[in-house]
Chains A and B, each alone.
Chain A
């Protein structure tokens, strides 16, 4: 959009000084956004490099380059290509998906606590996957990665639909509490179904359910990457189209936007993104909730889907470095599921968001 247009339209418009000041401010805002994007991208590259090279098994950068170039170094090649690299890529992609999903929910529902993980989408997706595992337990071959992703999507969509039906409207506190209830139901389904799994499936499901990058495979990463290639541009377009909704539904209508249908589409894309990430790496607690306010802070208060996605990716790669390698160095070889770390870090942040009163003040208003 052109900043000069509305200002020159009025004959008794503001002076050239004021116009310059506004233009300067807008330039500064855009510069901050570009800087934030570039800075986060650089940080992400650095963290991925750290994740692949550093840890209980160290790989030097020249060796890494040779391995990626196709050379086979006994031992190192296997560890990099089958463990370290897939984990780093999966962390990056799932973090980006969750960050983008959080930004879409935040903008549509205009509530800092409304993220796919609080609203039960991730636990619904987890319930879908565990139910699939239970159903296919006896069959030869078990479940394919594609069926897993489909089950996660169906579970996430069912949870989102249940929340909508219970709360009857988008937004508001009722919506958040309905999400908490649906989330509890999803977790109960997961816990109940896990008991009927055979020992082999149970072990892989237990790791996956805590939100872990341990069991990730290139097949699952490929599926997630394909889903993201479609969903991320779509989400970015919807996120931009929802910009007028930031000033409230009435004003948005007056500005010619259609927040209702666009918002519903944004929530659907957000749920699909969260389900895609959950199918690949399990329910990573709080990433979607954490990424959005952090991204806003980094970008100087401007909501931006790419910045949120990059923030999510940085968070998950960082959490994975700490959970898998740093804890291991400190506590003698032990490793935490990545989801445990994001959950522990996310709880204080959620309390802080509560204290920041936006949500609660909205709750005190009559419906």
Chain B
């Protein structure tokens, strides 16, 4: 079985080609319907539950520009709009980033959090704020993207050098990447904490942000970064056909007329855009990139493009629901998004470790 399992479903189920209708339902219509339901749930549930009729009423009023209707219920719904929109964007971005990382590194343990990219983005943002660059959301997103890129390069370089030193040149093993990611995460977290302690400016901006959360989301930021997330998803979807070939190994991919280097570069660019935007919006939210693609592979997408686009929708559903869950379990207190996704994601990672070709 190839490590990514991207091509595996097709091989296992060779005789029956999936119908386009099945693809369209599983990776398009069904998650879209669920996303709509999750959005209504996200707006209705929380410390103060609101009846769905009021939610739809308020939503209609907001969308048609009539302003927020009278009443506490309507105000509660309006207050939940920014976090729900942000959760949708963050979920889509992180799930697609995870799928792209897993494909590009042929590594089933690809996740922006697990590989140290989110920690790198956090550190770059904190450093930028410390030297006074963090004035606007665009600047923060740019810093986060730079940090993601630096962390990605560092982790891949160390893991590849380790693979060479270990006498196995070529793509680094999943475990080597995760270990390098853990080291980068630890170092970046320590440096971020140092900045937090030393600089009151950073502490003020970061206090509610060290663990991933959408509780303080701002609609303006979400609208500003939505195009970035869109471009990232489109880039990943455009490069996705190359993923099917990449899963066979670089030599075979060349033989099939693909250019693995170009595919990887496009995927890395998508990962940088998506992770940077997600960290700028919600801070480090772990394990979404691991959960969504692996769950979707169970549904056997025929092509990598279906997987990537499905990830965008299902990831959004996952994160919106995780946010709702965090709000109702301990209501009126909240569990932040970053905590919920980790608690959901760790069992998946432990189960993945038992697969052949992943662990030892």
Listed in ascending order, the chain A residues whose CB lies under 8 Å from chain B are 113, 118, 166-168, 172-174, 176-178, 180-182, 184-185, 187-189, 191-192, 195-196, 210, 285-286, 331, 334-337, 339-344, 346-348, 350-351, 354-357, 359-367
* Interchain CB contact (< 8 A) of B162 among A118, A174, A357: A357
**Contact present for A113 and B186 (CB under 8 Å):** no
Q: A191-B210, A360-B179 are in contact. List 8 more A-B contacts (CB 8 A).
A: A177-B175, A184-B342, A188-B343, A195-B336, A336-B197, A356-B165, A359-B179, A363-B175
Asked whether B360 lies within 8 Å of A362 as measured between CB atoms, the reply is yes
Scan B166-201; emit 1 where CB is below 8 A from any A CB, else 0.
Answer: 111000110110111011101111110110011000
- Say whether A167 contacts B353, CB under 8 Å: yes
Contacts of A286 in B (CB 8 A): 186
A188 to B345 CA separation, bound complex (whole angstroms): 11
- A344 with B191, Cβ < 8 A, contacts A177-B353, A331-B198 known: yes
A178, A196, A348, A355: the one contacting B165 at CB < 8 Å is A355
Pairs A–B under 8 Å by Cβ, sample size 23 = A172-B359, A173-B173, A174-B360, A178-B350, A180-B114, A180-B179, A185-B346, A189-B339, A195-B334, A285-B186, A285-B190, A340-B193, A343-B189, A344-B194, A346-B190, A350-B183, A351-B184, A354-B159, A355-B158, A360-B163, A360-B173, A360-B175, A366-B360
Cβ distance B333 to chain A, nearest Cβ, rounded Å: 6
Determine how close the nearest CB of chain B comes to the CB of A255; give it in whole angstroms. Answer: 25
CB within 8 A of A354: which of B183, B286, B287?
A: B183
Shortest Cβ distance from B342 into A: residue: A188
Complexed CA–CA distance, A210 and B195 (Å): 13
- Tell me whether B211 is interfacial, beta carbon within 8 Å: yes
Contacts of B180 in A (CB 8 A): 351, 354
B349 contacts chain A at the CB level, 8 A cutoff: yes
B183 surroundings in chain A (CB, below 8 A): 347, 350-351, 354
**For B336, what are the chain A residues with a Cβ–Cβ distance below 8 Å?**
191-192, 195
User: Which of B179, B190, B358, B360 contacts A343, CB < 8 Å?
Assistant: B190
Q: Which residues of B contact A (CB under 8 A)?
A: 109, 113-114, 158-159, 161-163, 165-168, 172-173, 175-176, 178-180, 182-184, 186-191, 193-194, 197-198, 210-211, 286-287, 330, 333-336, 338-339, 342-343, 346, 349-350, 353-354, 358-360
Which of B172, B193, B211, B335 contacts A210 (CB under 8 A)?
A: B193
Residues from chain A with Cβ under 8 Å of B360 in the complex: 172-174, 362-363, 365-367
Docked-complex contact A337 and B335, CB < 8 angstroms: no
B342–A174 CB distance below 8 A = no
Query: Do residues A180 and B178 form an inter-chain contact, with CB atoms below 8 A?
Result: yes
Complexed CA–CA distance, A361 and B286 (Å): 28
Counting chain A CB atoms within 10 Å of each CB, which of B109, B342, B360 scores highest? B360
